[in-house]
Amino acid sequence: MVEHPHGESEASQRILQGLAVALLLTAIVLGLEAVGAVMSRSLAVTVDAVHDVPDLFAFAASYLALAAIARGSTTEHTFGSHRFEVFAAILNAFVLLAAGLLFAYPAIVGLTNDTTSFGTLDPAWILFAAIPTLALRSVSAIYLGRIPRAARDLNVRSVLVHLGADIAITAALIIDAIVLVYSPTSVQVDSAVALAIAAVLIVESVPIFRGAWDVLTERVPRGLSLTNLTEVVKSVPRVKDVHDLHVWAVCPTFVCMTAHVRVEEMTLGESADVTDELRQAVEQTFGIAHSVFELETGSEQSIGDIREQVSARRVHS
């Protein structure tokens, strides 16, 4: 039976729909910018059009990763396929970095030599590509932006970062065209915009790499303080101390933890109540979706050991 833990099914469907919209609109943008690049002979539009190709690839990879996650846990993958989204995000970041580095060089050459790469520039065709592109990218960003922040995984965040940068890039293309309309000889502006686009692609890959690296190295999620977490655990009634505390993320929206908690002497029923309180406290305060607590009594005997002893006595009796 397929499970969707922690209410992830509905959020996953909304995310998948958002990515599908972004994928479709990006395909339309690619067609517009391909025509605009050929007709305008603009390096800036060409860079952005070529950048749409890895965009399509990255969005498709994100969609497929999240589709795999939406299937839920299996007997082979008991946490589901959450790590697929991390690998998709890494792929997305590599694509951005490669595209930025690829086009930085011709942009620098054009800016240095005050020349164009493909011939006389036509600002009308730059506007033909840029204006509808700005509208379509804004629609994608608004659609994905409506997904609650808490439900956004690494892929959605990387796509939103991507779209935000893309909108800024499109605005730069419009400025490029306006400058060329009023000053046709200012061809260096096109190279400058192309270089800016390449720089944006390189820069926006950095936080995506960092987020994926944090997950793969099992780093404590950024913004989560172990000191604060310890204080919340110790604030639960009948808890004396906590040790062997471990926190990591299967993916950025699925944080897990384990801890040994020293408690007062109590019955098995009372230990179950304390465990429930601990789980609710860490989930409500820190959003930790999966927590495991090993309770230990003052005699350094864990509740688990007590359960085993009780079971053994029942068997022997």
b/e string for 218-236 if b means 16 or more Cβ within 10 A? eebbeebeeeebeebbeeb
CATH code for 226-316? 3.30.70.1350
- The phi, psi pair for 239, rounded to 5°, reads -90, 130
Angle at 134 (CA atoms; ends 129, 137), nearest 5 degrees: 115
Residue 11 has a pLDDT of 56
* Mean pLDDT for the stretch of residues 55-72: 70
Quote the mean pLDDT of the chain.
80
Residue 258 has a pLDDT of 93
CATH homologous superfamily for the domain 5-216: Cation efflux protein transmembrane domain (1.20.1510.10)
Pick the closest to residue 193 from 294, 116, 248, 272 (CA basis): 116
pLDDT at 3 over 70: no
pLDDT single digits (tens) 249-286:
887 778 899 999 999 888 888 888 999 999 999 998 88
Distances (CA, A) of 66 to 83, 204, 225, 287, 293: 10, 21, 28, 20, 30
The beta-strand segments (E) located in the chain are 239-251, 254-263, 288-296
Residue 81 has a pLDDT of 66
- The phi, psi pair for 171, rounded to 5°, reads -60, -40
Contact (Cβ atoms closer than 8 angstroms) between residue 32 and residue 102 = no
Residue 186 has a pLDDT of 85
Residue 4 has a pLDDT of 43
List where CATH 3.30.70.1350 sits in the chain: 226-316
pLDDT at 86 over 70: yes
What does the alpha-carbon distance between residue 102 and residue 105 come to, in Å, rounded to a whole number? 7
What does the alpha-carbon distance between residue 36 and residue 44 come to, in Å, rounded to a whole number? 10
pLDDT at 310 over 60: no
pLDDT band at 5 (very low <50, low <70, confident <90, very high): very low
pLDDT at 311 over 60: no
Q: 8 exposed, middle or buried (CB, 10 Å; 0-12, 13-18, 19+)?
A: buried
**Secondary element (H or E) of residue 264:** none
Contact (Cβ atoms closer than 8 angstroms) between residue 155 and residue 19 = yes
What does the alpha-carbon distance between residue 89 and residue 234 come to, in Å, rounded to a whole number? 36
Amino acid at 119: G
pLDDT single digits (tens) 154-203:
556 667 777 787 888 899 999 999 999 999 888 889 999 999 888 888 88
Amino acid at 69: I
The answer for residues whose C-beta is within 8 angstroms of residue 147's C-beta and 6 or more apart is: 11, 14, 15, 18, 156
| Half-sphere exposure at residue 40, Cβ-oriented, CA atoms within 13 angstroms | 31
pLDDT single digits (tens) 16-57:
777 788 888 889 999 999 999 999 999 899 988 887 877 787
pLDDT single digits (tens) 190-236:
999 999 888 888 887 888 888 888 888 888 888 888 999 999 999 99
Pick the closest to residue 9 from 151, 186, 115, 172 (CA basis): 151
More confident of the two residues 181 and 303: 181
**pTM given for the model:** 0.67
List where CATH 1.20.1510.10 sits in the chain: 5-216
